[in-house]
């Protein structure tokens, strides 16, 4: 079984000129004895402090990866040795089915829509299956986070490159995960 911990809560606040001040959920998964960091976020000081609260250092992370290459999700990858960072998008033209992060049980799931090259991760814990969904699901801080099926599928992503693909990706994650960790917002239980 995997163990999962949110190191940094994700947020997205619209600022001047419509630009966002944001950082993603930074999620630590312990799987098969490896510390895997997914979406390490934007601000180095925040990540180092979060790791320190868990009695971890940058060197204690075995694998780092990200759901997509937007800066608010992936910038802190630069803090880690290059051989620890897995950029799935440079390895594969399309993410194959049944792919896992090497040496772990964490599944990699192709979930385009927010951007064409977007993946999510599925970790199986004692509490259930968690989708680390990146921006398949995300909310601005000022929005109400409604998590019934209809609201989740209809929620507008103002930055989405393909709304139809995004809806399919949302349906996919809702059908396989018990919980979803959005890129920005609160973890929610999949409606059944």
> Per-10-residue mean pLDDT for the chain, 192 residues long?
97 88 97 98 98 98 97 98 92 76 96 96 98 98 97 97 98 98 98 84
Partner residues linked to 180 by β-bridges: 131, 188
- Do the Cβ atoms of 108 and 101 come closer than 8 Å? yes
Q: Domains of the chain: which residue ranges?
A: 3-189
Predicted confidence at residue 98, as pLDDT, reads: 83
Q: Are 155 and 162 contacting, i.e. CB atoms less than 8 angstroms apart? A: no
Hey, what are 162's tokens?
A: 């393909």
Find where tokens 């990699």 sit.
108
How much is the pLDDT for 161? 96
Tokens encoding 67: 């759901």
Instruction: Copy the structure tokens of residue 64.
Output: 């780092």
The reported pLDDT for the residue numbered 159 is 94
CATH architecture of 3-189: 4-Layer Sandwich (3.60)
Residue 94: the pLDDT is: 67
Give the distance from CA 99 to its chain's centroid: 16
Residue with token string 């693909």: 165
């Amino acid at each position: 079984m995997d163990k999962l911990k949110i190191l940094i809560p994700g947020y997205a606040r619209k600022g001047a000129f419509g630009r966002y001040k944001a950082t993603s959920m930074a999620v630590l998964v312990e799987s098969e004895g490896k510390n895997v960091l997914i979406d390490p976020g934007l601000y180095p000081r925040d990540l180092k402090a979060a790791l320190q609260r868990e009695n971890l250092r940058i060197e204690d992370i075995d694998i780092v990866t990200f759901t997509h290459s937007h800066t608010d999700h992936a910038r802190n990858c630069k803090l880690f040795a290059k051989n620890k960072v897995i950029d799935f998008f440079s390895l594969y033209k399309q993410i194959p089915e049944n792919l896992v992060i090497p040496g772990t049980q964490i599944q990699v799931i192709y979930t385009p829509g927010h951007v064409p090259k977007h993946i999510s991760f599925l970790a199986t814990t004692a509490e259930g299956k968690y989708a680390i969904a990146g921006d398949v699901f995300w909310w601005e801080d000022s929005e109400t986070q409604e998590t019934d099926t209809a609201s989740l599928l209809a929620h507008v992503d103002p930055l989405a490159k393909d709304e139809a693909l995004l809806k399919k990706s949302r349906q996919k994650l809702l059908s396989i995960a018990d919980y979803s960790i959005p890129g920005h917002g609160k973890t929610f239980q999949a409606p059944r």
